[in-house]
Chains A and B, each alone.
Chain A
């Protein structure tokens, strides 16, 4: 799965000025409203899933109302097919969804970042071999591949994490590789090497800080993809049947005739919650990537407020 703008070609053009990671992030947050909104959404869901068991109104293992009871003042989002409060389910279901999203992304970033840095830094046979593997994996349809692996391994949260992690690193590896290759050729890196710095020092002191923001943008975008894929795998029955996640909520609603019962409340809020979190990751990740690509700030021809006017040097105004 590839996101727009996650384009290796763009990454090579991001050879901007050396910047410290924290300073760059502060700039992005100051300049872009989208980044602030995105980060706020992500933090909100992290906090929510930590405190959910303490603040959710009902238990998610015990029946507290009638089957498919509509929304009421006692149960704001109604109840599901087992008479379990939907609001509590969504609040607590986010825990596993988020854990899967973050853990799978961690796996993907370790593989993708590692391979990207290694292949970008050491060109040669290793580079060629690893990039071929990446090329092949990128073409194979990932959800279909995941279904096959997960159904052979069996349904469990751990398997879902591993399956997503080992297949979602390819785009990251390519983008990081392109960036590392351009950093490697810069004069100050060459000078450092001439002064006798070892590979570890060059990678740690000079390469990593340069690919840091890009890696962060990819991490955030991959979290969105991982959460999305978790809901898809859960929908196909490949998630551990004993846990509640945002994915299994949709699966149960579909399997247990929520639609023919007219129980829209078992479907609508869950999807909106998933979409808001994914859009939040998307806004934040995209804002970082845009901040890395100053070329987008220039447009010789664009109609703004129904009038023709050049936009040279104007700060980005939309996403």
Chain B
């Protein structure tokens, strides 16, 4: 029963958070003065018919509070309006972009976790030694360099050897077998994913290091040493496993940072994802796209946070009691 309670509670929190995000989204764009921002039907060069359809769909001639409920209803049907710049439904455009963003962000984040855990364990284990100093200082600097600068540096260094922009080579597309297309995308993904890894891994290193230093100070580690267990065994089986819990929390908290970093990275490497779409939307004043991008990214982060909560619940038996 306990676990059902917990899942329900976190699930409820996630749903309320999504609701808050939707509400912020509505008020930010509709209640502020200026009809260019507030009026979803002002699609440039749109036919009168389309404008009329949008006005009816979103109830734009009704009072604001009514518009809010109509907006909720339209969102439930996946309707986020028409992009000012592309004159196509925002939902279609952004879902296509999201499919490009997900693989790059997943690869980059997993790489960051692997690198972060290994450098963090090395740092705590060889505490105060040169490897510790190198890995902690490298982590601090990787963390301190702006994401966009790291991306630009990789561009400068690897511009000739690795593809510098886009997601696939436009000249081989379509004719080659599937696996070749996949390989092409993978090569294009190296630089963006590596930038994301460099941005994110520093904080993982530091948190694994400090969490491991704390667990190494626990009495059960002293007991294990007294029993004469080999140090490596104590490190990996007793200490590291317990030090992973703060990492799960940090990864969940850092998701917002990763999404922000991914946005900058997509801009630099012209990766056709949701971040690039939002960047383009800023320049084109394409407010429905901005609004939709914000909503999709926020909801993704909330859902992943919920997943992290469940994972934490699985990993830490203490909160089940």
Interface residues of A, Cβ cutoff 8 Å to B: 1-5, 7, 135-136, 138-145, 147-149, 151-152, 224, 228, 231-232, 235-238, 247, 250, 253-254, 259, 264, 267-268, 270-271, 274-276, 278-279, 282-283, 295-296, 298-306, 308, 311, 317-319
Contact = CB atoms under 8 A, between A and B. Distances in A.
B191 interface: no
B221 A236 contact: no
B233 to A, nearest CB: 11
21 contacts: A2-B250, A3-B203, A4-B203, A135-B17, A139-B301, A141-B297, A143-B263, A235-B148, A254-B152, A274-B144, A275-B144, A276-B144, A282-B144, A299-B127, A304-B126, A304-B128, A305-B128, A305-B129, A318-B123, A318-B132, A318-B133
Greatest chain A CB density within 10 A among B132, B159, B283, B291 is at: B132
Contacts of B291: 148
A3 B124 CA distance: 18
Given A139-B256, A147-B282, A308-B231, A271 B294 contact: no
B96 interface: no
Given A270-B149, A271-B145, A271-B149, A152 B29 contact: yes
Interface residues of B, number: 84
B60 interface: no
A318 B13 contact: no
Contacts of B127: 299, 302-304, 311, 317-318
B307 to A, nearest CB: 13
Nearest to A254: B152
A139 B282 CA distance: 23
A149 B28 contact: yes
Contacts of B267: 235-236
B94 interface: no
A301 B216 contact: yes
Interface string B17-57: 10011001100110010000100000000000000000000
Interface stretch (B68-76, B107-115, B175-183, B207-215): B207-215
Main secondary structure of the interface of A (DSSP, over half): helix
B140 A319 contact: yes
B217 A299 contact: yes
B257 interface: yes
B260 A143 contact: yes
B250 A4 contact: yes
A118 to B, nearest CB: 21
B282 A300 contact: no
A142 B29 CA distance: 17
A136 B235 CA distance: 37
A165 B40 CA distance: 29
Contact of B155 (A7, A135, A259, A311): A259
B246 interface: yes
Given A136-B17, A139-B301, A296-B210, A250 B149 contact: yes
Contacts of B248: none
Interface in B242-294: 246, 249-250, 253-257, 259-261, 263-264, 267-268, 278-279, 282-283, 285, 287, 290-291, 293-294
